[in-house]
Amino acid sequence: MTTPTKATAERVRFTGPERTELAEELKRQYEQGDSIRALADSCGRSYGFVHRLLTEARTTLRSRGGSRPGND
């Protein structure tokens, strides 16, 4: 028997209050500095899914590339 991988695992659909709750939690973590990619990895969802939820939660998204030394 094999263990399901991220690519083959059955995905749970998030709708209604569960979706809103997840979006707010992801927004909180994103605003504390986590990247979209890190959030996607931590919840086992795609980058696009997390990006969509952040947008639905009216999150102000950071520009691409993160912070770089000397560009404060």
Long-range contacts of 23-32 (CB under 8 A, 24+ apart): 23/53, 23/54, 23/56, 23/57, 24/57, 26/50, 26/53, 26/54, 26/57, 27/53, 27/54, 27/57, 27/59, 30/54, 30/59, 31/59
Confidence label for 14 from pLDDT (cuts 50, 70 and 90): confident
pTM of the shown model: 0.74
More confident residue, 45 or 70: 45
pLDDT for 25 beyond 80: yes
Confidence label for 10 from pLDDT (cuts 50, 70 and 90): low
The domains of the chain are located at 17-56
pLDDT per position as a tens digit, 27-67: 999 999 999 999 999 999 999 999 999 999 999 999 987 66
